[in-house]
Amino acid sequence: MTLPLEVENLTFGYNGRPVLQGVSFRLMPGEVLGLIGPNGAGKSTLIRLAAGLLRPLEGMVRLFGRAPQDWPPRALARQAALVPQGAYIPPTFTVWESALLGRTPYLGFLGVPRERDRQATWRALERVGIAHLADRFIGQLSGGERQRVVLARALAQEPRCLLLDEPTTHLDIHHQVAILSLIRRMALEDGIGVLIVLHDLNLASTFADRLALLVDGRLIALGDPRDVLRSDRLLAIYGSGITVFPRPDDGGRPVVLPRYWDEAVCLTE
Ligand code: ADP
C-alpha cells in the first residue's frame, strides 16, 4: 500500500542552520496526524518539505510513494493539497472564483470549468459553510471567512492527502470545532490522510488521532494524545505555566490549562 506521506530520517536547515534533524513518521490513509511543538520547532518547515516546496538536505519525503518533486505538478495537486499559513488570495476575486482555483489541476486545455468542477467547488464551499458568500469579494470578508475560503479551495482540489498549517487560527471556537470536525469526518469517510499543524494543544488533543511533537527540530514523541501530552513532558517543554488534566468525557484525552506562574518574569525567546 502506498501511504499518503512517509518521512524518513528527514534533515533540513536554512543557510546552514539546522532546523529539522532525523525526523521519521508515516501518515496513514484516513488518519489525522497533529503536528505540535513550541514556536520555531520546525512545524511549518516540515509541512513545506512534505508539500515539496523545499527539498530535504538528507533523508526523504514520499507522497503516495514518490518524492513530491518527482510528481508532475498537476498530478501532485490532485493527490495533495496544501493550506499554508497566511495563504494569499487576491482581494478582487470572489469567493466562488477563489474556491474554483482548487480545480485548476483538473481543467482541460482551455481552462474552462466543467459541471464536475462546478459541483466540486459548490460542495467545498458548502462543507466549510460559506456557500452563501459565493459572490462576495475576498476583500470584503473577515479573517475567519477568508481562512475558510482557503480551506474550500483545498477541498475543491479533492486531494487524498491534506497538509494544513494552522488552518483555524483566525476562527472562533465554534468555527474551529466545526472545521476540525469536518476535517476529521472527511479523513475517516474519504480515507484522506491529514497532517495538520495546530499550536492549540487542546484542539490537537481533541481532533487528532495521533500527535507528533517537534522540539528544536527533533520528533520527541509520536502517538496517542494521551501518551504524547504527558504532564511531565509538557512542563519540561513549555514551563510551569500549565496544568494537564485527563478529560473524563472524552476517554481521558488530555486538556492543557494555563496556570498563573509566579516565576514567569521574562520571555527568553
Ligand atoms: P514553527 O512552524 O514550528 O514555528 P518554522 O518551521 O516556521 O517553525 O521555523 C523553524 C526555524 O526556522 C525558526 O528558527 C525560523 O526562524 C527558521 N526559518 C523559518 N523559515 C525560514 C526561512 N525562510 N529562512 C531562514 N530561516 C527560517
How far is it, in rounded angstroms, from Cα 40 to Cα 38?
6
Residue 190: all three cell numbers together: 474519504
Dihedral angle over CA of 104, 106, 108, 112, nearest 10: -50
Low-confidence ranges of the chain (pLDDT < 70): 263-269
Beta-carbon-side half-sphere exposure of residue 134 (alpha carbons within 13 Å)? 12
Report how far ligand 1's centroid is from the alpha carbon of 129 (Å): 32
Closest-CA residue, ligand 1 atom 15, reads 40
Asked whether residue 19 is assigned to any structural domain, the reply reads no
- Evaluate whether 149 touches 98 at the Cβ level (below 8 Å): yes
94 within domain boundaries: yes
Please count the other Cβ atoms lying within 10 Å of the Cβ belonging to residue 227.
13
* 88 within ligand 1 shell (Cβ under 6 A): no
Q: Atom 23, ligand 1: which residue's CA is nearest?
A: 14
* Residue 117 located in a structural domain: yes
Q: What is the pLDDT of residue 203?
A: 96
Quick check: CB of 103 below 6 Å from ligand 1?
Answer: no
Residue 111: inside a domain, yes or no? Answer: yes
State in Å: Cα 180 to ligand 1 middle.
25
Task: Give, using CA atoms, the residue closest to atom 26 of ligand 1.
Answer: 14
Work out how many domains the chain is built from and give that number: 1
Whether residue 146 is contained in a domain is answered as yes
Nearest ligand 1 atom to the CA of 42 is 6
Q: Is the pTM of this model over 0.75?
A: yes
Asked if residue 106 lies in contact with residue 73, where contact means CB atoms within 8 angstroms, the answer is: no
Measured in angstroms, how far is the CA atom of residue 217 from the centroid of ligand 1? Answer: 10
Q: Is 41's C-beta closer than 6 angstroms to any atom of ligand 1? A: yes
Domain annotation covers residue 51: no
E strand or H helix at 212, and its extent? strand 210-215
N-term to C-term CA, the chain: 43
106 in a domain, yes or no?
Answer: yes
Residue 99 within a domain = yes
- Give the contacts of 230 (CB within 8 A, at least 6 positions apart): 244, 254
Q: What is the pLDDT of residue 87?
A: 85
Looking at residue 259, its pLDDT comes to: 86
Q: Give the domain extent around 126.
A: 90-158
B/e letters for 124-156, b = 16+ CB within 10 Å, e = fewer, are: bbebbebbebbebebeebeebbbbbbbbbbbbb
